[in-house]
Structure 1
Amino acid sequence: MIRKLIGVFAVAIAVGPTAAQSPAPPTISPAVAPAAPIPIDHFASLPFLTAPELSPDGTRIAARIAIAGQLRLAIVPLGDVKKMVMLGMGDNDLNDWEWVNNDWLIANIGATEKVEGDDWYLTRTAAVSADGKKISILGARTAAQNAGNVLWMARDGSPHILLAMQTSVYSNDPGFWPEVRDFDVSTGKSVRVVPSTDKVSSWFTDGAGMVRMGVAYNDDNRSYRLLYRDNPTKSFRTVSKARGRGASLGSLPAMFLPESGKALAFDDDDGFNALYAFDLATLKTGEKMFGKPGYDIGGIIPDATGTRIIGVQYTDTRARTHWFDPALAKIQADIDKAVGARHAQITSWSSDFSVLIVKVAGADRPGAYYVYRPDDGRLRILAKVNEALGTDAQSPVSTIKYKARDGLEISAILTVPKGKAAKDLPFILMPHGGPFARDDESWDWWAQFLASRGYAVLQPNYRGSSGYGTTFAEKGQGQWGLAMQDDLVDAVKWATGSGLADAKRICIVGGSYGGYAAFRAAQRDTGLYRCAVSYAGVSDLSAMLRYDSRFLNSGARGDWMRQQAPDLKNVSPINHAAEFSVPMLIMHGKVDRVVPVKQSREMVEKLKAAGKPYRYVEQPLGDHHFSRQADRAQFLTELEAFLKQYNPA
């Protein structure tokens, strides 16, 4: 299996025309000869390689790899797979990893622990040597709940990072508010550079590693303070305040520039998140640097010094990068031309850009990672994401748009079974999780599996989904299970009205918030669906808010929940088990740290008491993110059997 990792041959990338996007479903996808269904295990395979990160000198990669159905952190010298080092993280989640210099990297890990009888999710930062021989948890003796927020890493090759960390779990202790420490990752030693400051939960640094700004929030009176300094010898001063419901400090710097008083910031003055010049003296935005009409900008890409911007990321129908650097823009254009209709993303690079990692994939194929060296212009294969499926196209995917009942235009991702006419198909509505998220034209193993079994799959980006601007997001406030659910009903009506879906063969399938939507549909939308499937779904919004208040009660999410608060009971399916009208498949991982398993367990008890049909499967080692291949395969097996019984293709 290790041989999958490093290829030694150059891959000839065929040049082809870019696939045209259609606003409506295709009349027919390319015909293929009848064949046996692709085995479940092919779709359930864990991605063999995830997010490979190049070391600054371009000689090693660090990535998450799948071995024997389990995920590990791997450090691999390019071209010498025999020296690969694989590291397990025990029962911890491996959330992220990044190189500090050529000899050290850091990994963000997390785990659920009991704190005075309650489950708390703790984050930590681990320092890992490039040879894998040394691993240490930074600040292990003093860290409290959150110690995984890396604010800055040295860019000069030294092993230093700035880490914001809590030292107490009690909100009345000063240590509840994160302090900032300078860690030498090679020794684990640190010095405090900014002490805990009352109510300040977020700190911001410039490219040189100076902590420049902090944001304080007082939940008692819903007030904000913005703290700022321009010199490390100075004290922080309050430069802006805001108070009350819907209050905001306005734009905050996304990058501090070397020029005195200058920065870059995101702002949504025109309704969509865009990048602007920012004056630190006036806290006002200036010239718009980049915006994408109709979509929000997602993030910036700094240069090797951390003081200049070389690109911005955004998602329209799929994830894209706009490069400001002319050389990188040309590289992107050359690769795009070479891969044709497939999607090419430059995902990692050495500090001098002499070595790049490129992912070539598509909504219809999991794709592969390649090594690209601009000096020879060749893409050399690193690893296929899914060895079983390879790089061949599966079912075609497109973006459609439909109107909700109030006239709001909604985008949705449509997958049509390969080789079948887009007419009168058995149909699966699949709302995304979050709900502060969105779907796009990228590989989705649920959707592609369902399409391989003959189902058309529609994934609506209902109101409140991210990436479509401020107004679209705000339309989701207070609408869990209400207008957000109406958008799903209207998606079904579009599918049946356009002739795509057979109105008598419709099921709703979802995970996390999508699982909540499946519960709610089974309870609310009688006569529309034949069945419903929830994986890790939320059934009790009040209980979920108590469990995850730090996430659900923060910022815009808090506005959503506060506006929803008077109606939480009414829109929580657990309170309406007697109203469920269709059979349900309910599945949940026992070690889910995002949505606790009791959300499904208690829903099942209510359905049982009400005499409603359901099948409940609990995965003893399952988590929220399908980190185990066995759990993926079991889910797809149960899903296929359930659909054959209640919504056959």
Structure 2
Amino acid sequence: MMRGGWQVRWLAGAVAGLMLAGSAVAREMRPSDLPVEVFAHRPVMSNVSLSPDGSHVAYLTPIGGRQHLVVRPVPLRDDQSPSILAPNDAEITGIHWPSNERLLLEVLGTEKVRAAMVGTSRSLPLRFSRVISVSRDMKDMKVLLDRRPKGYSFYLSDTPILNFVDAEHVLMAYPADTGPWPGVVKVNIVTGRHSQVQWPLPNVVSYIPDPTGGIRVAATYDDRRLELRYLSRAPGGPFREMRMQKLLSDEDAFTVLGFGRSGKDLFVASRHEGDRLAVYTYDIDTDTIGGKIADDPRYDVGAAMVRGGAVTAVTWTDDLPQRRWLDPAVQKMQEALDKAVPDSREIIIDTAADGSLLLTASHSLAAPTTYRLFDRRTGEYSFFGDTYPGIPQNLVSARRPVSFKARDGLEIPGYLTLPVGMPERNLPLIVMPHGGPMARDDGGFDILSQFLASRGYAVLQPNFRGSTGYGAAFQQAGERQWGGLMQDDVTDAAQWAVAQGYADPARMCIVGWSYGGYAALMATIKTPALFKCAIATAPVTNLIRLYREVGASSARNLYRGIFFGDDPDELRPISPFHNVEKVGAPVLLIHGDLDIQATVDHSKEMARALSRAGKPVEYVEIAGMDHSPLLTDQMVTVLKEWERFLARHIGR
């Protein structure tokens, strides 16, 4: 995999040559020489997108420790400077180009909400989302639908942007004054004026417009009955039930992804033909599933890229991101570009409206993500930017897809990262289970495992049962298995690494974030002699507390059914807080005081309980940090604490 300023010239549809002209590669530097700050900042480029006419690229970059919006011409001449927007205390999470002259920014903020709003005796941090319209030169800015949070009446948890109607209008979900459910409004992104398009539907969780902007499909959720209903209608007609799904009991998973360009067919993800999700067409008039569009024999295929209200590509992840375009010409170009760059997967992520310019992301098991531009007029495929230019290519640790059999014979996939320049035997090992737990690790560049490998540790990231993306049976095998089979898979991962000779059994620690932090703490209880230390960052520690917190969510019965069951007292044996006397290794707890997903009380209470029990524990609280760091300084603190603690217990 090559990183740097090289280009590919296309002649008669074939690759004519490659030119490597990158910056000088450091040859004497060791990975451990790289400072913590190199790994602590966000990618130098993220959320990269192309203007409709292909004249400008927008992306996020960390400046002074916080994400900034950058808009630069293509190509950037010596006499030009990019436009840069500095945020206040909100995080930019999405960038959209509704026109060549204007962008929409999705931002996420956190603030303490008065106790009266949330029914508690004190203020709690809550997240809220806003959409900002900004001119390309950053001189004109407007907050759209600005309204302070009112109780839990925020935007939907995902993007409030539903569709781009034209260059000046967008459809957005918007909470109503009369109840908790959102309706849909049409917003002028220049003036900020809006008009009602769809009044709120009871229990609605999402709206899906067609390419014309008509609200044709909606989804509602009944938490008491655990029923998800899709409603559909003809243009101008009433809603009718299209499909009902009984959650936790219906094996035929079904998700509406969006409309095709014609507005007649839907694209849906379904398991009706097997264990893995696949994408199909769906006839909205006859309520029948049609032909298969995309599937994978090992992985779920269940997401889509939507542009202009229409599905344009099907997306999924095997070891690396995959994308299948519905336009055969774009798909052919995707495959040709992929062949042009060795040892990587080239993914088209954006195109100019006339198809003349394509923006790609280059993913690899052995390099950070890079971005390139392909000009179809000249045949030039040129380097645009790197995500982590501060890490020389020869110091990047490649990720290896691995698998092992758990004690009950189930095959468990994962990823192994080994330190550069060290023998591949008897290494100090970090087992790092992912958060979620309904998530997964993949083979893409992972800055946390790179940091740990740079310090001389092997890193093993098991996708324990319950992880997503491997089919229904694998995910359902993790239901109600916190501290059970999910935990055993993490234990078996460590023992596999020892059996394979990668790990020194006397120098193993477990590190986790969120659910991974819970798994790290449970490892010190369930297998107290296996690991020499445990680091839990933003962990869940008290499952009875979590049971109550889940009970405050809009899907409490669903989450309780997947995770815990109906009796909180049954959670005591698998709750780290209630089993501190069994902890058999030193523990480091790190938590942000503005964490919403796992409140800081989880770590505070755990630290006090461990201290009372005479167990070795350190507690670090980071002011202003949510569940994950938004500022570089926050991540620097996290990584330095990891480095110090690990060096003390298993360092060389």
Q: How does the TM-score come out when normalised to structure 2?
A: 0.88
Residue number in structure 1 paired with 2:484: 482
Residue pair 2:361, 2:372 contacting (<8 A) in 1 also? yes
Task: Give 1:563 shift.
Answer: 2.9
Amino acid at match of 2:160: V
Task: Give 1:600 shift.
Answer: 1.3
Partners in 2 of 1:166 and 1:235 — Cα distance? 21
Residue number in structure 2 paired with 1:37: 32
Are 1:571 and 2:574 matched, yes or no?
yes
| Greater mean alpha carbon deviation, residues 33-42 or residues 509-518 | 33-42
The structure, 1 or 2, with the larger RCO (C-alpha pairs under 8 Å, 6+ apart) is 1
Residue pair 2:171, 2:184 contacting (<8 A) in 1 also? yes
Amino acid at match of 1:73: L
Residue pair 1:552, 1:561 contacting (<8 A) in 2 also? no
Task: Give 1:59 shift.
Answer: 1.3
Residue pair 2:507, 2:650 contacting (<8 A) in 1 also? yes
Residue pair 1:142, 1:167 contacting (<8 A) in 2 also? no
Partners in 1 of 2:252 and 2:492 — Cα distance? 37
Partners in 2 of 1:485 and 1:240 — Cα distance? 36
Structure 2: gaps (5+ residues)? 10-14, 20-26, 117-122
Match of 1:164 among 165, 169, 173: 173
Residue pair 1:367, 1:390 contacting (<8 A) in 2 also? no
Structure 1 residues 146-172: Cα deviation after superposition (integer angstroms, max 9, x where no partner): 2264353335x431111112235xxxx
5 Å-filtered alignment, 1:252-331, equals 252-257=255-260, 262-269=265-272, 270-302=274-306, 305-307=308-310, 309-331=311-333
5 Å-filtered alignment, 1:137-536, equals 137-141=143-147, 144=150, 145-147=153-155, 149-154=159-164, 157-168=166-177, 174-232=178-236, 234-241=237-244, 246=249, 251-257=254-260, 262-269=265-272, 270-302=274-306, 305-307=308-310, 309-392=311-394, 394-536=396-538
| Greater mean alpha carbon deviation, residues 448-457 or residues 240-249 | 240-249
Match of 2:139 among 133, 138, 160: 133
Task: Give 1:509 shift.
Answer: 0.7
Residue pair 2:8, 2:340 contacting (<8 A) in 1 also? no
Structure 1: gaps (5+ residues)? 1-6, 17-31, 169-173
Structure 1 residues 190-228: Cα deviation after superposition (integer angstroms, max 9, x where no partner): 111111222223222111111012222233344444322
Partner of 1:176, secondary structure, is coil
Backbone CA RMSD of aligned residues: 2.8
| Greater mean alpha carbon deviation, residues 426-435 or residues 36-45 | 36-45
Structure 1 residues 4-29: Cα deviation after superposition (integer angstroms, max 9, x where no partner): xxx9985899879xxxxxxxxxxxxx
Query: 1:291/1:224 Cα in 2 relative to 1: closer, same or farther (>3 Å)?
Result: closer
Partners in 2 of 1:222 and 1:394 — Cα distance? 46
Partners in 1 of 2:557 and 2:334 — Cα distance? 36
Residue pair 1:107, 1:127 contacting (<8 A) in 2 also? yes
Partners in 1 of 2:367 and 2:229 — Cα distance? 47
Amino acid at match of 2:62: A
| Greater mean alpha carbon deviation, residues 350-359 or residues 191-200 | 350-359
Partner of 1:570, secondary structure, is helix
Q: How does the TM-score come out when normalised to structure 1?
A: 0.88
Query: 1:110/1:151 Cα in 2 relative to 1: closer, same or farther (>3 Å)?
Result: closer
Residue pair 1:545, 1:552 contacting (<8 A) in 2 also? no
Task: Give 1:137 shift.
Answer: 2.2
Partners in 2 of 1:370 and 1:527 — Cα distance? 49
Match of 2:86 among 79, 85, 88: 88
Partner of 1:89, secondary structure, is coil
Partners in 2 of 1:257 and 1:504 — Cα distance? 57
Partners in 1 of 2:247 and 2:636 — Cα distance? 49
Residue pair 2:280, 2:292 contacting (<8 A) in 1 also? yes
Q: Aligned pair count?
A: 619
Residue number in structure 2 paired with 1:77: 73
Residue pair 1:477, 1:563 contacting (<8 A) in 2 also? no
Amino acid at match of 2:299: Y
Residue pair 2:547, 2:560 contacting (<8 A) in 1 also? no
Task: Give 1:239 shift.
Answer: 4.2
Residue number in structure 2 paired with 1:593: 596
Partner of 1:365, secondary structure, is coil
Residue pair 2:550, 2:556 contacting (<8 A) in 1 also? no
Task: Give 1:54 shift.
Answer: 0.8
Partners in 2 of 1:225 and 1:590 — Cα distance? 38
Task: Give 1:631 shift.
Answer: 2.3
Residue pair 1:413, 1:440 contacting (<8 A) in 2 also? yes
Partner of 1:450, secondary structure, is helix
Structure 1 residues 265-289: Cα deviation after superposition (integer angstroms, max 9, x where no partner): 1101211110112122343312212
Are 1:620 and 2:623 matched, yes or no?
yes
Residue pair 1:242, 1:248 contacting (<8 A) in 2 also? no
Query: 1:153/1:131 Cα in 2 relative to 1: closer, same or farther (>3 Å)?
Result: farther
Task: Give 1:413 shift.
Answer: 0.2
Partners in 2 of 1:59 and 1:186 — Cα distance? 21
Structure 1 residues 431-484: Cα deviation after superposition (integer angstroms, max 9, x where no partner): 011111111111111111221222111100011111101111111110112111
Structure 1 residues 237-275: Cα deviation after superposition (integer angstroms, max 9, x where no partner): 334446686368963432223667532211012111101
Task: Give 1:58 shift.
Answer: 1.1
Residue pair 1:181, 1:190 contacting (<8 A) in 2 also? yes
Residue number in structure 2 paired with 1:98: 96
Structure 1 residues 271-310: Cα deviation after superposition (integer angstroms, max 9, x where no partner): 11101121223433122121111111142234x5544x44
Query: 1:11/1:536 Cα in 2 relative to 1: closer, same or farther (>3 Å)?
Result: farther
Residue number in structure 2 paired with 1:634: 637
Partners in 2 of 1:486 and 1:150 — Cα distance? 39
